[in-house]
Structure formats: structure tokens, C-alpha cells
Amino acid sequence: MKLLAVRRLLRIQRVVIRYRLDDLLFDLPLPWWLLSLRLLLPWRWLPRKRSALSRGARLRLALQDLGPIFIKFGQLLSTRRDLLPTDVADELMLLQDRVPPFDPQRAVALIEAQLGAKVGEVFSRFDVEPLASASVAQVHAARLKSGEEVVVKVVRPGLKPVIAQDLAWLFLIAKGAERISADARRLHPVEVVGDYEKTIYDELDLLREAANASQLRRNFEGSDLMYVPQVYWDFCRPKVLVMERIYGVPVTDMATLADQRTDMKALAERGVEVFFTQVFRDSFFHADMHPGNIFVSTVKPWSPQYIAIDCGIVGSLTDEDQDYLARNLIAFFKRDYRRVAQLHIDSGWVPANTKVNEFEAAIRTVCEPIFEKPLKDISFGQVLMRLFQTARRFNMEVQPQLVLLQKTLLNIEGLGRQLYPELDLWSTAKPYLERWMRERMSPKAVLGNLYSQAEQLPHLADMTRDLLERLSQPHLHNSQLPERQQRGDRWALRLLGAGLLAGGATLAAGAASLSAPAAWPAWLMLAAGLYLVVRR
């Protein structure tokens, strides 16, 4: 273990003692043998001053002192008012955009170093006092020389060493958990931490965030659902981002939203639609949608539009995961638990020898009680615990590639609970998913897939020609190749032929109801595949 990581652990311990976070732990209804551990903590024997800070304030300040990874954990917790006491949730909300800023003069120096010019040369006005401050960066208001009102985002200095030390401990804990616990191995903690490592380092690169914002803006161009501010690329650097300044109501400012008579039901339902649009239509979703990053437009309160900022963390799904997830959700909304169970087996999320009827009964037991209930009447804490017990019983493994999506869904669900507790999540999401599946299987979509596969034919033809030349002219090629590689070439040719047969059969089945021109690639692939498989 590196010395810096050890020092980091001591730092964490000092913060825990300073804010007496152990009090929060021992206030929980724990077993007697865990409560007795209080006697083994030496600092609990020392006299201490009575703190005037509330438990929520102590937790917030501790997470704030410990840096980005801990602050982001607090941001996620702040959206789960169903799992936290109100006083704690209120304090953790301050972590969303009101983390203490770093020295404004240092921010100016960083901006000038990145832009290679004085602030006054780039902006006609620059507000030294930050507009907002969060875990990774802080934001200053400004005006470009051309007159546009913008915000300038600058990364906090000195974050990488702290993040590296925290990640070192997370990896150590994850590896230890995998070695000693079968339950932990199912959760793939090392892979999860590895994915998080990539995510947090990507967030430090503001050019990546600018690219994400530009893509998200294109995806929702002209949409009434969500607006994404414009990026000014000429002034973007790895540690500085300049983008359009937006004027909206913070999504958690319930009083202002009520004053402007915002349709809260429509706002909550549109939040669900925005999420599913990003995940299924675009396969590109904003994965840091805590309330500090979401505003509501003041233009049409009767038809509310979201405004999204801070696109440093985005996620995407493979076609396979997207398809399985959609089918699972549709079956779930229809209460077709056998279909849900079978899909989990087919996708490999549970072992292949799982008994479908037993798994179906377990899923029904967990899910049936939450249907036809608004969000306010559902205890997702209890649901998650029962789901985890079911997963353990059936050796269900966590899918690391879906962790970011699950985190985003928790944020969205928590936000919906605040905006409109009467929201029926199931009836809101079901029509969208069914429409998406119909569009996915429409003749137009199938034809598009056929032609995209047909575009690969020239490449396959080149591969086939090269292999045929090597095998048909052994006097030119085989004398220079070992026998093992010659056998490999023959097997590669047969595998290519089998692939062409399978692809051709798929295309032929899909093109059966289409015009003749759409079917010719299928017959060409079938003929080529058959020849390659049967030739010697």
C-alpha cells in the first residue's frame, strides 16, 4: 500500500472522529454485539465538547471535507428522501451545487492559463464570485465580447491525487470482499469500481463534457421535453468549459414552481419520458441527473420543459442490453413474471439451470405488492432489500455495465417522488416502451437494419477473396506458412462460411415481406456461405 493511500485513510479517520459520524451509526437499531463495539473505540472515552451542529450538518460537512467521491455519494443520497430522515436529506441537498468554492483568484489564473489570454481579453464581463460550486468544478458568470451571456466552468485544482487515493482504497475493499464473500463476487465490486474510476476521471476532462453536451443537445434539438445549453467550442479546454447561460427554476424549488403554476404532473411524467427517450431512442443518457443539474424553463409552465446541465457523466447501452432491458421492463409492466424470469435466464443474468417456475414465483412475490400504487406509497428501500435477497437465492449476478443506468434511474425516481408523489410510474413508462418496441420492429427499421448489414458485404467479400487466394495457390503462400497456420486458415474459411449462412438466413427471414431488391444480399450470402463450408 502506498504511503499516500495510508495517509488518506488516516485523514478519513480524523474526519469521522471530528464530526463524530460514529454517533450516526450507533444511533441505528443495530444488534447488541455491534453496539458493544463502541467500547473499543478509544476516542469515545475522551471528553468532548457538545456540538451545536445537527446530525445532517455533520454528515454534510464530513462528506464535503473528504472530497469528490464522498460528495457524489452524498448527492445520490440526497435524492432518496424515502430512505433518509428529512433533516439529513435537506442538508445533503446542499452538496448538489453549494459546496464551498475555492479561491476565485486561483480560478481566474487557471482560466487564463488554459485560454492563453487574460480574462478581460476574452470576456467583456467576468464575475469573480462564483455562481455555483460543486464537487469537481465551480462556475462563473460572464459575457463574451460578441454579447452572449455565458457561464465559465473551471475544474478544481488538486483533485486527481485525492481521487486516486480514494480509488485505491475502494479497489482494496472490493478485492477483499470478492475473496471472502460469495455474495460480493456476484456483485462484481472490482468491475464496478473500475467502471467508476473511468467515469470520475472522464468527468475531470471538460472537453469530454463539452462533447457530451453537444451530442445531447443534438438529440433533443427542437424538443419540448428538454433543452441543453449551447457549447462555445472556441473557448473550451480540458479544464475550462464555456457554455450558454440558462435562466430557469431549480427543479427542487417547489415554491417558485408552484407560484408560476407549473403543471407538476406533466413535469414528473415528462421526466420519465426524457429518461426512457435517452436510454432507448438514443442509447445516450445523462447519468448525473441529481437535482442540482436540472432546471425547469419558465416559458411555458403549463407545458414544462427541462433544462439539463453538467453532462460530464453519460452512459450508453449495447444493442443487446438495450433489447433485453426493454423486453424485461415491458414484461414487468404487464406482470408477465414468467417472461421476466425466462429473459433473465436467456440473457445469462442468472444461471442457465435456474428453475423458471421458482424464479417466477420469487419475482412475483417482490413485485406484485408495488403495482397500482403511487410513488409516495412505495417503500423502495424494502423493495431493494427483497430484490437483493432474491438475487442471492438464485445466484443472480450484478451487471456492471448497467450500474450507471441503475444509479440514474434511482435519481429520476427520487426526483419524481419530490415533484409529484401521486405519479404512477408504471402507467407512464409502459406506453413509451411499447411504442419504442413497435417502432423497432417496423418495416422501415427492419429495412434499415438489412441495408446496414448489406454494407458489410464488400468487407466480407475482401476477406473471402484473400483466404481463397491463399488456399487455392499453395505454391505461393503455403510454402511460407507453417502447417498449423494453414489448418487455421481452412477453419477460418469454414467459420466465415457458417457466419455467412447464418447471416443470410437472418436476412432472408427479415426480407421475406419486403421487395425483391431487399432480398438479394441474403441470397448472395447464402450462396457464398454454402460454397465456403462444403469446399475442401
> Distance between CA atoms of 241 and 30, rounded to whole angstroms?
47
Output the CA angle 373-379-385, nearest 5 degrees. 130
Longest dimension (CA), the chain: 91
Active-site annotation holds for 288: yes
| Three-state SS letters, 199-236 | HHHHHCCHHHHHHHHHHHHHHCCCCCCEECCCECHHHC
> Distance between CA atoms of 375 and 208, rounded to whole angstroms?
35
The amino acid that residue 271 corresponds to is G
Helix pair 356-367, 380-393: axis angle to 10 deg: 170
Q: Of 82, 97, 166, 288, which one is the catalytic site residue?
A: 288
> Distance between CA atoms of 300 and 119, rounded to whole angstroms?
36
**How, if at all, do strands 306-308 and 226-227 pair?**
parallel
Q: What's the length of the chain?
A: 536
Per DSSP (E only), the strands in 71-217 are 123-126, 132-133, 137-144, 149-155
Burial of 18 (0-12, 13-18, 19+ CB in 10 A): middle
Residue 453 vs residues 232, 456, 493, 529: alpha-carbon distances, Å: 37, 5, 20, 15
**How, if at all, do strands 137-144 and 123-126 pair?**
antiparallel
Q: Which residues are catalytic?
A: 288
